[in-house]
Amino acid sequence: MKNILGIILIIAGIAVFIQGLNRRDSLAGAAGEVGTNIQNAVDGGARQPKHVVYMVVGGVLVVVGVGVMAKRSGSLTR
């Protein structure tokens, strides 16, 4: 069961990461990055464009999925 959950998390993470890559290369991603840079320049905030958030979340999901798959079983039977 844990392997299935790990595989699902890895696949979801890869999908979200690819969405971030696609958004970065699109017109919406370029416009969002410009808007974010302007907002940060005006008020000194530390905002990130959405594509960066997608890529980070995708990477975290992949790492969690690998961790779930690598985790030992909690049973004491041998």
Which domain covers residue 58, as residue numbers? 2-66
pLDDT the model gives residue 60: 97
Q: How many domains does the chain have?
A: 1
Residue 72 lies in a domain: no
Helices (H), 1-78: 2-24, 27-43, 50-70
Of 57, 77, 75, the residue nearest 9 (C-alpha): 57
Identity of residue 64:
V
> Could you report the per-residue pLDDT of 16-72, keeping only the tens digit for each?
999 999 988 888 888 888 988 898 899 888 888 888 999 999 999 999 999 999 887
